[in-house]
Amino acid sequence: MNTEFQKIDQAKFRFVNESERLHDKKFDDKPVGYFKDAWIRFRKSRASVVAAVIILAIVLFSFIAPICIKGHDQTFMVTTYAKKPPRITLLRDLGKKTGYSNRSFSARSLMKALSTGVGALDYAGNEQISFEAAMGSDYMPILEITGESKSVGADKSEVTTYMADIETYLEVGFIYKSIEQKELSNILAWEKEHGKHILYPLVENNEYCLDATDANYWYKSDAKGNPLTYNAKGTKLIKVKEYNPAFVLLDNYKRDADGNPIYYEFTGGGSVDTAQYKIRVLYINYYEYQYGEEPNYFMGTDAQGRDLMLRLAGGIKLSLLIAVAVSVINFILGALYGSTEGYYGGTVDLIMERISDILYDMPFIVVAALFQIHLAKKVGPIPSLLFAYITTGWIGTASRVRTQFYRFKNQEYVMAARTLGAKDRRIIWKHIFPNSLGTIITSAALVIPATINSESMLSYLGIVKLGSAQHTSLGTLLSDAASIWTNYPHLMFFPALTLSLLMICFNLFGNGLRDAFNPALRGVE
């Protein structure tokens, strides 16, 4: 074996000056904390960041919406405007359609809808206003006749069906009310101040009035609701079956001896203050008189006539409050329970696991139902629902923590800490628990959408009743809309959209937290 070393020429070596940089990259020697490093990794997940922004936007909406809508809260209810679609007065002022739906009308029903706009313009009861002349007025519910079709009826006659956009808030038209003398005086003063009419002529209850309780039958009609008009000689009333834009309705107003319309009549009362009067009001103006503004519902109204946007904001807050409370409590209980059985193992783990198994085998829906039947009467539906979640909800977190502790408790750094005399409490919370934090936080974050979903299911099925005038939940809103959403899709659309966004975004957000708090990914680009 040749042990000689070849001598290398010194000229082939190059000496590096001390001032010369050996690397182009400048390294930052400042330490990066655990949470700062987690935040840096979380920002790299665009889906998680977008999900967090959407969740924040939904939460802000639940708090800002009640502040922006002045004059009423989620308990505010106007049954006359129940189940109405969204109506935004700003869009109406800009000439856009709002608060409307597209429907099919027979000739008779179309003329009845048009009569509301005609009657609102004929305040004095002596004008000859045709359907065509009333179109486009501020009180005309028919916004546009979009089409018509012809078919053959049961009696072999030709039947015309019309498609039209109708403003559902104006469709209410006129209603009868009984008021006291003082309110009558206030209405008259409001009319004078604002230049708008609330009181309209009363209608005679005679053979020309189809329904004495329906204030919109102000015109003469037959027993089937067909409008009546005079024949060419002006000697006989005949019914009108076909829609004609130039047609003028004949009013059926109550009149005094001089032929003037009667706008209110005394119905009883012993004094000036208690005197009762029957009036016929144009409801859109009466609403403004009562509440100081026109109907303005950004998401429409629910089945009871409450503002759906405020109800949705309240439902989001309640659902999130329950979900976050359940998540925090189960996180604490599960971390304590799982870390204890995972760290000590042996007999301690065996006993605690059997307790978990017994509780885990209890069906949650049965537990929730029993709590609602027996406990809700004493503490209320919300606390009893929380108790039901806490009874078994922490088991999943405890199982994950236990698994993580079994994974890390025999690692070298744990054995080193134990050798140096570290106490069990320090080893658990300073050495093992931080390494398990990513999985635990992810599970805690995913508890929130799971809780919202299960609460919605329980409310939807009627097992838990969280709906009242003061509060509601997303599941209750969905339950209320379940049987009528095909006719009023906005009642289902907004709660379902919100619930779907919360489910998707919380899951993406939880995935981002899992990667951010995973110690194995520290420093990974």
Separation of alpha carbons 208 and 225, rounded Å = 9
Contact criterion met (CB below 8 Å) for 244 and 234: no
The pLDDT score that the predictor gives to residue 29 is 55
CA angle 115, 116, 120 (to 5 degrees): 110
Strand, coil or helix: 86? coil
DSSP character for 219? B
Residue with the bigger pLDDT between 334 and 521: it is 334
The pLDDT score that the predictor gives to residue 371 is 85
Contact criterion met (CB below 8 Å) for 476 and 466: yes
**Interval 141-179: pLDDT, tens:** 999 999 988 887 666 677 889 999 999 999 999 999 999
Strand, coil or helix: 244? coil
Q: How confident is the model at residue 489 (pLDDT cuts 50, 70, 90)?
A: very high
Separation of alpha carbons 155 and 280, rounded Å = 38
Judged against a pLDDT cut of 90, whether residue 360 lies above it is answered with: no
Residue with the bigger pLDDT between 265 and 443: it is 265
User: How many CA atoms lie less than 13 Å away from 321 in the CB half-sphere?
Assistant: 15
Whole-number Cα distances in Å, 456 to 207, 381, 426: 53, 14, 41
**pTM listed for this prediction:** 0.82
What is the pLDDT averaged over residues 48-52? 92
Strand, coil or helix: 25? coil
What is the pLDDT averaged over residues 400-424? 82
Residue range 49-64+306-521 forms a domain whose CATH class is: mainly alpha
Separation of alpha carbons 240 and 243, rounded Å = 8
Burial class (CB within 10 angstroms; exposed 0-12, middle 13-18, buried 19+) of 335: buried
CA-wise closest residue to 391 among 368, 418, 410: 368
The pLDDT score that the predictor gives to residue 231 is 83
One DSSP character per residue, 427-489 reads IIIIIIHHHHHHHHHHHHHHHHHHHHHHHHHHHHHTSS---SSS---HHHHHHHHTTTTTT-T
Share of the chain above pLDDT 70, in %: 90
Judged against a pLDDT cut of 90, whether residue 299 lies above it is answered with: yes
Instruction: Read off the tokens for 483.
Output: 């049987």
Contact criterion met (CB below 8 Å) for 400 and 338: yes
Domain boundaries, the chain: 49-64+306-521, 87-291
Q: Give the number of other Cβ atoms within 10 Å of residue 239's Cβ.
A: 15
Computed over every residue of the chain, the mean pLDDT equals: 85
**Interval 224-263: pLDDT, tens:** 899 999 887 777 889 998 999 999 999 999 999 888 999 9
Judged against a pLDDT cut of 60, whether residue 22 lies above it is answered with: no
What is the pLDDT averaged over residues 116-133? 89
Instruction: List CB contacts of 431: < 8 A, sequence separation 6 or more.
Output: 408, 413, 414, 417, 422
Residue type (1 letter), 325: A
Judged against a pLDDT cut of 70, whether residue 436 lies above it is answered with: yes
The pLDDT score that the predictor gives to residue 462 is 82
**Interval 458-475: pLDDT, tens:** 888 888 888 777 888 888
**Interval 507-518: pLDDT, tens:** 888 888 877 776
**Interval 363-391: pLDDT, tens:** 888 888 888 888 888 888 888 888 888 88
Instruction: List CB contacts of 138: < 8 A, sequence separation 6 or more.
Output: none
Separation of alpha carbons 287 and 198, rounded Å = 9
Instruction: List CB contacts of 303: < 8 A, sequence separation 6 or more.
Output: 82, 83, 480, 481, 484, 488, 491
Contact criterion met (CB below 8 Å) for 303 and 427: no
Residue with the bigger pLDDT between 8 and 63: it is 63
Q: What share of the chain is helix, strand, coil (3-state, %, to 5)?
A: 50, 15, 35
DSSP character for 519? G
Helix or strand run (H / E) with residue 308: helix 308-344
Contact criterion met (CB below 8 Å) for 264 and 202: yes
Helices assigned H by DSSP within 361-411: 364-370, 376-379, 381-408
